[in-house]
Amino acid sequence: MATKYSDELRQRATRMAVELRRDPDSRVGAVERVAKQLGMHPMTLRKWVRQAEVDNGVRAGTTSAEAERIAKLESEVRELKRANEILRTASAFFAAAELDRQLK
C-alpha cells in the first residue's frame, strides 16, 4: 500500500534533493541520501524531483498545472460525450414516436 506523504514533507524533501543536486560535489546519490534520511523510497523522491524540474522549466515534460488542466478537459469531454449519447438516444426515441403517431 502506498504511503501518503504530507505536502510539507514532499516540498521539503524535493527542495533538499534539488539543492544537493545543484552542487557537483554532492550531486551523485543526493536523492538516495535524502530519501533514506527522511524514511521514504528513493523512487518516490526521484519522481517528485523530476516533476519539480519540469515545473521549473529545467526538464522537458508536462508541468503539474498542464496535467491538471488536461485532466479537467478530459473529464469535460467525457461528460459531453455522455450528454451527446443521451441526446442521440432521446432524439431517436422521439423520432420513432413521431413516426408511429403519423402512421396511425
3 pLDDT more than 80: no
- Domain co-membership, 57 together with 67: no
Segments forming the whole domain that contains residue 69: 63-104
- Domain co-membership, 49 together with 23: yes
Per residue in 45-95, pLDDT tens? 999 999 999 999 989 999 999 999 999 999 999 999 999 999 999 999 988
Give how many domains the chain has, as a whole number.
Answer: 2
Per-residue confidence (pLDDT) for residue 2, from 0 to 100: 57
Name every residue whose Cβ is closer than 8 Å to that of residue 62 and which is 6 or more positions away in sequence. 54, 70
Grid coordinates representing 37 are 534520511
- Domain co-membership, 57 together with 71: no
- Domain co-membership, 79 together with 51: no
- Domain co-membership, 34 together with 77: no
